[in-house]
Structure 1
Amino acid sequence: MPENSRRRRPEARPEEILDAALSVFSEQGFAAARVEDIARAAGLSKGAIYLYFPSKEAMLNGLVERSAGHLAKTAEAMVASGAPRDAETGLRNLLRMLFTSMADPAISAAPRLVFAEAGRFPVIADFYRRQVLEIARGAMRALLEAGVGANVFRPVDADAFMRAVAGPAFAHMALTTTFTLPPDTLTDPADMADALADILLHGLKPRAPAS
């Protein structure tokens, strides 16, 4: 075992292993990555890796929990605290948080890995659905219900609302990172979020001129 690994605090090792796993998964792909490669990148023995994570799937799950999973729980908390008072502001703040967070490669990397590998590894897709999508779905439903209850939003299908709110964040991530198609003008994630919030709230039809 490398000398520096013995000096590390044990509580720091799971994060170091996840950082190494993210690097190896991103470079090699999940299927091709080996635990030996992750151990080497983390400066640990293969046996030391298994003390914290029993498999590659567990490491990817850990990456999901600390990035997209944390993001979903943050969205849930934001909606619970803000939407009952002001659903429109809650929607705008939620979009700003989503776009700003997904612009961070440390957060977007795990979702991009899941999207790339989920078709071949259904267990990974199922974990992401339970730990991220279902939590986000509940938060979006609560936001919509708060807005309808306050007569700020009109009643619409909750799942369509979720896709209309969350979909642009994932599309923006894919266009910017995978397809290298960043926006021409709205380069600040918060500005993009504000523009999309305006479209969601007011639609595309021309507004009547102020009297």
Structure 2
Amino acid sequence: MPPVDREQRAQRILDAAARLFAHYGYDKTTVDEIAREAGVSKGAIYLHWPGKEALAEALLYREVRCVIEDFLQRLEADPEGGTIGSIYRHGLQATFANPLVRAVLSSDNRVLGDYLHRLGPDFYRMRFEAARALIERMQAADLIRRDLSPEVVTYLLTMLGLGLSTASGLLPAEVRPPPGEVAEALADVVQRALAPEGGGDREAGKRLVRAYVAEVTQRYEELRGLRRDVDDGQPSDSG
């Protein structure tokens, strides 16, 4: 099969998995069902991935890349982009526009079930450490006030995001305000609480975020390459 056709088939399989995971959840979705939804044989899926867990990882990687691209586009188009408030607002809006990434960041077991348990605490610790590294750089660039430790700032921002995720899952739709209004309000709170006087250099903030995203993406690509090398030749998981 030509590389272009192979890639198109892989994307079709990932699209099918995304629909089924969002509707039925990871645990209740089998490889057979994904194959039927994608219009391919079960064996075709195993030509791309050793099993459902590896497929889910590839899907989440694709969706995270989409969220990152959406976030950067929003940030670049915003005249206020580059301040801590705008970075937080656009990050929330891009994340919550993607149901699978939102499920991971909010630990939504309904969508990703056992897969989230397999990620374990190390995954969330890595996320926290990566966020803290960005906060440290923003403080060094005078985009966030320095009288708070980066650990405290990172924890506060994490709490806000998790609280928003939890509230949206627990409260009935008729009492929830529109997500855009919530993101705007939270961004205003973050800007007032954490930004230095004057808000900081917006263009410097954009440059910092672009460089940081490129660095993190490259590191993750290298990690995925190592994991693929380890997975080659391994037996597939069940499902």
Deviation at 1:124, TM superposition (A): 2.2
Query: Which residue number in structure 2 is paired with residue 4 of structure 1?
Result: none
Aligned to 2:225: none
Unaligned runs of 5+ in 2: 196-239
The amino acid that maps onto 2:38 is A
Q: 1:21, 1:38 within 8 Å by CA — same for their partners in 2?
A: yes
- 140, 154, 162: which one pairs with 1:145? 140
Does the 8 A contact of 2:20 with 2:29 survive in 1?
A: yes
Q: 8 Å contact 1:68–1:132 — kept in the other structure? A: no
1:104: Cα distance to partner? 0.6
Q: Determine which of 187, 197, 210 is the counterpart of 1:194.
A: 187
Q: CA deviation at 1:175?
A: 1.9
After superposition, give the CA deviation of every residue in 1:47-101 in whole Å (9 maximum; x if it has no partner): 111111211111221232223466469879x99x9xxxx9x94312211211211
2:198 match: none
1:162 maps to what in 2? 154
Q: Is the contact made by 2:18 and 2:100 (CA closer than 8 Å) also made in structure 1?
A: no
Q: 2:28: which partner in 1? A: 32
**SS of alignment partner, residue 141 of structure 2:** helix
| Residue 209 (structure 1) aligns with | none
Q: TM-score, normalising length from structure 1? A: 0.66
User: Is the 1:35–1:56 Cα contact (8 Å) retained in structure 2?
Assistant: yes
Q: Does 1:12 align with 2:4?
A: no
CA RMSD of aligned residues (A): 4.0
Aligned residue for 2:234? Answer: none
Percent of aligned pairs with the same residue?
A: 21
Deviations 1:144-194 (A, max 9, x none): 3333xx7x6133222221121233233223322454456447743542343
Give the counterpart of 2:85 among 74, 80, 92. 92
Distance change in 2, residues 1:134/1:115 (3 Å): farther
Residue identity matched to 2:7: E
Letter in 2 for 1:125: G
Q: Is the 8 A contact 1:14 1:52 kept in 2?
A: yes
Aligned partners of 2:16 and 2:34 also within 8 Å: yes
Going from structure 1 to structure 2, the CA distance change for 1:35 and 1:72 (only over 3 Å counts) comes to same
Q: In 2, distance between residues paired with 1:199 and 1:186?
A: 20
**Residue pairs, 1:74-113, within 5 angstroms:** 89-106=82-99, 108-111=101-104
Aligned partners of 2:85 and 2:190 also within 8 Å? yes
Cα distance change, pair 188–144 in 1 and its aligned pair in 2 (3 A): same
| Partner amino acid, structure 2, of 1:17 | I
Q: Normalized against structure 2, the TM-score is what?
A: 0.60
8 Å CA contact retained: 1:102, 1:108: yes
Secondary structure class of the residue paired with 1:188: helix
Distance of 2:132 and 2:68 partners within structure 1:
9
> Aligned match of 1:41 in 28, 34, 37?
37
Task: Specify the alignment match of 1:5 in structure 2.
Answer: none
Between the aligned partners of 1:24 and 1:127, the Cα distance in structure 2 is 27
- Mark the runs of 5 or more structure 1 residues left unpaired by the alignment: 1-7, 203-211
* Contact 2:35/2:41 (<8 A) preserved: yes
Contact kept in structure 2, 1:16 and 1:42, CA below 8 Å: yes
Higher relative contact order (CA 8 A, sep 6+): 2
